[in-house]
Amino acid sequence: MIEEKQKHPQWDHMKPKDMTERQIVASRMARNQQKKQKSVKEETSDKRRIWVQIRLLPIWLRILLVLLLVAGAAVLGAMIGYGYVGDGEPSDVLKKETWTHILDIINGKES
């Protein structure tokens, strides 16, 4: 049943002198079986791992930051548009009188 072993003189030093061919084959089979068991254990341990991501910023804080950034961009855009494009004073955008005047023009109360 055991096939003829090919002679490899460079591997002779690896074989213990007191082992028979049958014992060598049995030990190789046992090592292969152990490797298979280890790989099965590794696969099951990988399946059990669950990735848990911890958020640095909660969702409500992200939404609040986005809203603040949008509001800041709108104010900055209005200041640039009113101050530099419209030849006005950029700080006038933050005054209530400016916006009531703009709304009056839009609604047709002033010309």
Residue 72 lies in a domain: yes
> Would residue 19 count as lying in a domain?
no
Q: How far apart are CA 20 and CA 26, in angstroms?
A: 10
Q: Look at residue 87 and tell me if it is in a domain.
A: yes
- Residue 71 pLDDT more than 50? yes
Residues with Cβ within 8 Å of residue 110, at least 6 apart in sequence: 101, 104
pTM tops 0.75: no
Cβ pair 92, 82 in contact under 8 A: yes
In a domain, 50, yes or no: no
**Does residue 92 lie within any of the structural domains?**
yes
Is 3 contained in some domain?
no
- Distance, in Å, from the CA atom of 22 to the CA atom of 58, rounded to the nearest integer, reads 65
Structurally, the chain folds into a number of domains equal to 1
Please give the helix or strand (H or E) that residue 17 lies within, else none: none
How confident is the model at residue 70, as a pLDDT?
98
Residue 86 tokens, joined: 């419209």
| pLDDT value of position 1 | 47
Q: Report pLDDT for 87.
A: 85
Q: Is position 54 within any domain?
A: no
87 is in which domain, residue-wise? 59-107
> What is the tens place of the pLDDT at every residue in 82-108?
898 988 899 999 999 999 998 999 999
Supply angle C-alpha 72, 93, 111, rounded to 5: 135
Residue 45 forms part of a structural domain? no
- Structure confidence by residue, pLDDT tens digits, 3-36: 555 555 555 555 566 677 787 888 888 888 877 7
